Amino acid sequence: MTAPDPDKDLDAWISEHLARPEVAARMHDELLATLHADRNQPPEPPPATTMPMPEFPRFGVARYRCPRGCGWSHDEPTDPGPSALIPPADPRELGAMLTLNAEARSLAYQARVEAAIARHYAETHPGASP
């Protein structure tokens, strides 16, 4: 008797349980149910952000200046380019999927800007908070 191989066991379990179409369809339905349940909740207030108001020095670029006025700035493309989208099995869910994708891209954008500001503060204004 050989010791169980966790990777092989996991692969076997996935192919046995998750790769079947009826399981994939059920997971899809559960995901949609979660999505719809979330939609029925009152919206949460937007989280606090360290992003200052941007300037738009030229087409396609948003510039975020240091809130302390030291002259530093971070440029971010306003269009990060196309994203890879896999169309949903049910075309009626395309709108929800596009909304989720847009929200994810917006959060990623905000995270990049906040990270740039945090790095700048760590290097130039240690001890201060944006």
Closest to 78 in 3D by CA, of 60, 63, 65: 60
Pick 22 or 123: Cβ nearer Zn ion:
123
Does 118 sit near Zn ion (CB under 5 A)?
no
119 binds Zn ion (CB under 5 A): no
- Of 70-109, which residues contact Zn ion (CB under 5 A)? 70, 72
- Write the interaction track for Zn ion spanning residues 58-77; mark x where CB under 5 A is met and - where it is not: --------x-x-x-x-----
Whether 41 contacts 54, CB under 8 Å? no
Task: Report the alpha-carbon distance of residue 13 to residue 31 in Å, rounded.
Answer: 21
Distance CA 42, CA 123 (A): 39
| 52 is a contact residue toward Zn ion (CB under 5 A) | no
Q: Which residues are at the interface with Zn ion (CB under 5 A)?
A: 66, 68, 70, 72, 124
